Structure 1
C-alpha cells in the first residue's frame, strides 16, 4: 500500500514540474540558437559590431545573451529615418564640387553630431601651421593613455617617436596616443592646443563646431557636415596633411621592433579612386564617419559621411556616390547646372 502511495505521489509531482521544465528548455534553446556578432575594440576608424556577446554557464550548457549596442546620437535624434534614392547608410551626407561650389547631394547636412577621429584632421592642421620641428623626439607618457573609451595602442608608454611620425600615425591610422601626444607637447600645453583648435574653427566659419580634445574619443567633439566640408577644403591646401592622410601604410621602429601601421580607409589602395585627402572616425556615439577630397569624373569633390551604420557602410556610401557622379556625364564634362550651389540631389527627411 505504501509503495502504491509513493508511486502516485511521484507521478503527480512529475506532471506538475513538466510545464516549467518545457518552458525553461524553450527559452534556453532560443538563446542558444541566436547568432552572436563578433566584438571588436573601438580605435579611431575601427569599429564595434551591432551587438556584444556574453557567454553564460547555466545548467551545464552555454547560453549566449545579446546586448544591444549603444545607439549613436544620430539614431537617437531619428536622423536614420531620412531616405534617399542612393540608399545611403549614413544619416548625414554632403557632397560638394569644390571648384564650383555646386552642392551635388545633401542629407541632414546641418545636424550637429559627434565626429570621432575626424577631429584629428584639425589636430594635424594646428600642428602643421605651428611650424613645429617635425624631427623633434616626443615620448608617449601615461597622460596619453585613453581614459575616455579605454582603447588600446601599440605605442606603449615610454616609446619615443618624432613629431612627424606621430603626425603620420595620427592622420593615417588614427592612432589616439599619437594625436594626444601632439596636443600635449604643443607650446602652452593641452589647454592652449584645444583653444587653438576652436579658434581655427571659428576662422574657417565652422560655427557648429566645438573641440574639447585632440583625438576624437570624446563625444563632446562635435560638428556638422557643412562645417566639416569647409575643414576638408582648407586642409586639402596643406601638402603635408594630404600626403600623410592618404599614405597606404607606414613603418616605425620601436626599440628592436618594427611596427607596421595601415591606413584606416581602404579606399586609398583602390585604383578606382584618386583621393587627395581623407580621414575616418568611429566611436559609438558618432557611428562610422568619413570625410574625403577626391577626384571623380574630372571633378574635385568633397564628401562627408557621418553616423553611418555598419563597419563598411561609409565605404559603400562613398562608392555609391562615385558611381552616381560618373554616370551623370562623361569624364571631364561638368554636370549640367543653372548656377553655383545648384542642388542636384536633395535627400528627403
Structure 2
C-alpha cells in the first residue's frame, strides 16, 4: 500500500506539470471546477433529450438528502407496452442509450434514462457516499416518484448492472425482466485493476480539499488521455474511482439467487468477446451464476442480430428464463452496436409476461 501511494504521488506530480504546459488545450479550466459551474450546464441541458427534473429524497447515514434528479422520459404519459429503466455505467449518462431510442419508440416502449449525481446532469451532493445501497435507493425513488408500475424492465450497462439486479428484486410485483449489457462480474475485471491504485486514489481524495485540489488535474488527464473515457472535470474522474472502490461484486450473489428463484422474471446477460474492460471469463462466470441455459453466440461482424434475436425468442418460448448472449466481435458498448438486438430482447421479455 505504501509503495502504491509513493508511485501515485510521483505520477500525480508529473501529470500536474504536464497539464500546466497544456494550458493551450484548455485543460486547466477544470482545475477548480465546482458543482455551481456544472449546474449551469445541467440547467441549460433540460431543453432537449426529453429530459425532466424529478425531486427525490433518500436516506444517507440517517439523514434525508433531497436531489433534483434529471431523467430522460420518452413517454411521460406512459406506455401500455412496457417501460425500461436504463441505468448507465461509470462515467455515463442517459446518452449512453441513445441508439436504443428509435427501435424502442417504434415498439411503443417507454424509456426512463437515469442520470446519477455528479455526471453532468444531476448535481452531486457532499452528503452522498455513492454506495451501492444509496444508488439503488436513488433509482428506486425515481421509480416511485414517476409512479412506474407493471411491465418494468431494468437495464444496466457496465457499473449500472449491479443496480439493475438490485432494483429487479426490490420491485417483485412490477419487474418482468432484467437486461444486463456488458455487466460487471463477480470479481474485479481488468478495467478495475489494480485495486490498490483505485483504493489509493479514493483514500487520497477523501483526505479533503487540499489533496482534491492537486488530484483534479491528474485524474482529469488520466481519464481523458490515458483511459480514453471522457469526463468533464477532475471531480467526475474521482467519482469514477470512488465507485470502483464501492463496488462489492460478491454481494451480487444473494440477489442473483433471488432472481433465479423467479420464473416470472427474464434475465439476459449480453456480453462481448472483445471487451477491453471486462474479460470474457468474468462475464461467463456471471452468466453461470444466473444458471443460464444454452448460450447464444454471435460470431458475425455485422450489426444485424436477427438470428440471435430469434434464438432468444425461441428459448423464452421453450421455458428458459435466464439466457446468456455473447457477441464475439463487439466491444464494451453493445447498446451502441447491438441496439436492435437489445430492444428485441426487451420486447421478448415484455411479450412473455402477457
TM class by shorter-chain length?
under 0.3
Tell me which protein shows more strand as a share of its residues. 1
**Normalised TM-score (structure 1):** 0.25
**Normalised TM-score (structure 2):** 0.25
Tell me which protein shows more helix as a share of its residues. 2
Higher relative contact order (CA 8 A, sep 6+): 1
